[in-house]
Amino acid sequence: MRLVPREQPGPAFVLAVSALAVLLAFAASLVLLALYGASPVEALRVVYQGVLADPRGFAEVLRRAVPLTLAGAGLALAFRAQFWNIGAEGQLLLGAVAASGVALFGPGEGITKLFLMGLAAFVAGGLWAALPAYLKGRLSVNDVITTLMLNYVAIYLVEWLIHGPWKGRSVFGFAYTDRFPASAWLPTWPGTALAWPGVLLAVAFAVFFAWLLFATRLGFEIRVVGENPEAARYAGIRALSTLFWVALLSGGVAGLAGFVEVAGTHHRLLAPLQISLGYGYTAIIVAWLGRNHPLTTLLTGLLIGFVFAAGDVAKVALATPFQLVQVVNGLILFFLIAAEVPIRYRIVWGSDRG
């Protein structure tokens, strides 16, 4: 068996192969479910009834899709520049911290307050990503490891705040902050838990990033730095500053996702695992499935949001543990990278030395 590179594959072909990969991952998940002792048919039924056939189920999909798309669109930008940001989880948490700080102790009323919270979250998430980017650009320090390590630092920072200085005065035994004042709450769609401004933010940033990437000088630099660092140097592109902007933007939107979670759903800062169900890690799949195009992350964010929502109804109806969602997402990623092969190569059966 050998692999012969394919000429530019058409978008329809790429879409078909990717969709097939996702379907196969779902099928594999059902097999896993059966091995776990739950009925796959029953699983399909509860997911259909609880998510697809129920308008509130769709609101849940959207609620999960918001942080995934926000962080995913940012990662699409980062991966384009070969900035291996595995730290969206920590950047999201930092955003949640900054937004909570403004909500609890900061100035502003009404929309001004919400704006300040969002801004603080964006800056905090962005700077949390900028440090590893600087270390990569300046000292060639491995960005995968530094961004990942900072996730843990962010987790314990949140833990410290909610057990220590920010622990709410009115919550006694629990480890979380006081509830935000009502002016720091994002409005929700009537009858659902969906903070709809989050949807607007996700769409706006996905569109903005697509425009940035394909219609501006910075976007051009991002693509050249990622695809051909040598050429970028000859073209006089300062890789360090490009990297800095990419980090600021991709960390910034992850921070914004943290803002939407605390201001839209929880209304307080609480345990890291409750703020984010691994959205920052899962956003890697959102970006990769969307072939690192900010606009496609709108679709792939919805798809992975569906996996989360389906996991929720399965948890209630079939008593499956939450980790199932993680496994399904991981399987999607595996099938997806396997799908790269038919996309990029034609498979020819026969000898190696043709």
Partner 1 sequence: MVESWWVSTLARGLAFSAPLLLAALGELVAERSGVINLGVEGMMILGALSGFAVADASGNPWLGVMAAAGVGTLAALLHAFFSITLRANTYVSGLALTMVGLGLSGLLGKPFAGRPLAHPLPKLDIPGLSSIPWLGPGLFQGQNALLYLALLAAFLLWYFLYRTRGGITLRSVGENPAAADALGVNVYLVRYLATAFGGAMAGVAGAYLSVAYRPSWTEGMTAGMGWIALAIVIFAAWDPLRAVAAAFLFGAFYHLAYRFQAHLPPEFLKMTPYLFTVLFLVLGALGKSVRLGAPEALGRPYVRGER
Binding site for partner 1 (CB under 8 A): 3, 36, 84, 86, 135, 139-142, 144-146, 148-150, 152-153, 156-157, 159-160, 163-164, 281, 284-285, 288, 321, 323-327, 329-331, 333-334, 337-338, 340-341, 352
Question: How many whole angstroms separate alpha carbon 60 and alpha carbon 311?
Answer: 11
Q: What is the DSSP string of 281-338?
A: HHHHHHHHHTTT-TTHHHHHHHHHHHHHHHHHHHHHHH---THHHHHHHHHHHHHHHH
Q: Which is nearer to partner 1, 142 or 228 (CB)?
A: 142
Q: Which is nearer to partner 1, 38 or 59 (CB)?
A: 38
| Shortest distance (Å) from residue 319 CB to partner 1 | 11
Q: Which is nearer to partner 1, 188 or 326 (CB)?
A: 326
| Shortest distance (Å) from residue 330 CB to partner 1 | 4
| Helices (H), ranges, 106-238 | 110-139, 143-163, 196-215, 217-227, 229-234
Q: Which is nearer to partner 1, 298 or 324 (CB)?
A: 324
121 to 33, 117, 275, 293, 314: CA distances (angstroms): 38, 6, 14, 24, 33
| Shortest distance (Å) from residue 285 CB to partner 1 | 8
Question: How many whole angstroms separate alpha carbon 295 and alpha carbon 132?
Answer: 26
| Shortest distance (Å) from residue 44 CB to partner 1 | 19
Q: Which is nearer to partner 1, 48 or 334 (CB)?
A: 334
| Shortest distance (Å) from residue 341 CB to partner 1 | 5
| Shortest distance (Å) from residue 189 CB to partner 1 | 31
> Taking phi first (over 0 means left), then psi (-120 to 50 degrees means alpha), and beta for anything else, what does residue 192 get?
beta
| Shortest distance (Å) from residue 322 CB to partner 1 | 8
CB 354 within 8 A of CB 79: no
Q: Which is nearer to partner 1, 121 or 285 (CB)?
A: 285
* Torsion sign over Cα 121, 124, 126, 128: negative
Question: How many whole angstroms separate alpha carbon 15 and alpha carbon 347?
Answer: 19
Q: Which is nearer to partner 1, 60 or 143 (CB)?
A: 143
Q: Which is nearer to partner 1, 235 or 348 (CB)?
A: 348
For residues 92-126, b (16+ Cβ closer than 10 Å) or e, as one string?
A: bbbbbbbbbbbbbeeeeeeeebbebbbbbbbbbbb
The angle subtended at Cα 177 by Cα 176 and Cα 178, nearest 5°, is: 125
| Shortest distance (Å) from residue 225 CB to partner 1 | 17
Question: How many whole angstroms separate alpha carbon 58 and alpha carbon 120?
Answer: 30
